[in-house]
Amino acid sequence: MNKKITVLPGDGIGPEIVAEAVKVLDKIAKKYGHSFEYTYVDIGGCSIDKYGVPITDEGMALCKSADSVLLGAVGGPKWDSCPANIRPEKALLAVRKELGLFANLRPTKLFSQLADASPLKKEIVGGGIDLLIVRELTGGVYFGERKTEEVNGELVAVDYMPYSEHEIERIGRVAFETAMKRGKRLASVDKANVLDTSRLWRKTMHRLSEEYPQVEYSDILVDNTAMQLIKNPTQFDVLVTENMFGDILSDEASMLTGSIGMMPSASLSSGTLGMYEPIHGSAPDIAGMNIANPLGTILSAAMMLRYSFDMAKEADDIEAAVNKVLDAGYRTCDIMKDGCTKVLCDQMGELVIANI
């Protein structure tokens, strides 16, 4: 099978971790007889430095024409003083919007080999954390109208949080279909006791739930969700929520594992096109030192194979290889503990390849 992948290494440690994921994909291609064609595009701060914009029109076109997109990370203190309209993060919002990437899948899995890294007590995580947050990605307050104006002698800022039924329904279907492939349990997160958008969200989700009687469905308020993720995270299978709530909760959930460098993510369109990236940032303080953890990016590449290319066996192969490497006691510095062997970024990539 031949696939075109647009690669966005980005800033900071982005190029280092993406390089290891590409090597892993090459090993998969060789083993299974596939062909992956890579096109590299600048994004974020490096694009601002070269072209004055966080992503060029040509770069965006290459993302649109690809079968999938692999992203490293963007941003860093160097570009904090840039005008708001050309900040590195603007490129991510633009790519999500232009490619129609409305569904963000954030798995939170506590690898048994890293159980000691969780900040939660062992009796809380003993049953194993394996949940998935489905976040609506192109609507809500991040994409709504915003303005700041003077009213009665002081500045007043307003951000609108619009949601339409069709936006809620399409992310809801992704969540229900995903739950059907997992534990058949779905919790919909909202703030329906306060917000009109959440009341529409809940009404639409209830209507959808009638189409999926096999799925155990429940509603949960966002503040209670934040508490329950700390109190009893093992109760959750799939969580679905709107953009801002999902942004906050998925970051909270990622820390339950104590290893943000391990966490992948997928952003999907209504077709097969997706963008895959680790959830961590660009970590400019360790850029170029070859000590970053590439496993989150490698696992993101596995998600690409699974969700965009329908290569479930190949994805399983990568995930099994990561488990074997962890079982053997190899660790990058962010997940290092006594009794294990510390390895560099490129060494970790080679170890995963060796176990495929």
Residue 191 annotated in active site? yes
Q: For residue 21, which of 4, 2, 12, 8 has the smallest C-alpha distance?
A: 8
Catalytic residue among 191, 219, 324, 342: 191
Among 26, 130, 251, 346, which one carries the catalytic annotation?
251
Question: What contacts 246, CB < 8 A, 6 or more positions away?
Answer: 104, 106, 133, 134, 135, 136, 137, 189
Q: Compute CA distances 97 → 37, 110, 274, whole Å.
A: 24, 31, 12
153 Cβ contact partners less than 8 Å away, ≥ 6 residues apart: none
Dihedral of CA atoms 251, 252, 253, 259 in degrees, nearest 10, equals: 70
Known active-site residue 130: no
Q: Is residue 251 annotated as part of the catalytic site, yes or no?
A: yes
223 is catalytic: yes
Q: Is 247 an active-site residue?
A: yes
> Which of 159, 196, 223, 316 does the annotation list as catalytic?
223
CA distance 154 to 80: 26
Check 190, 247, 317, 334 and give the catalytic one. 247
d(CA 170, CA 176): 10
Catalytic residues: 142, 191, 223, 247, 251
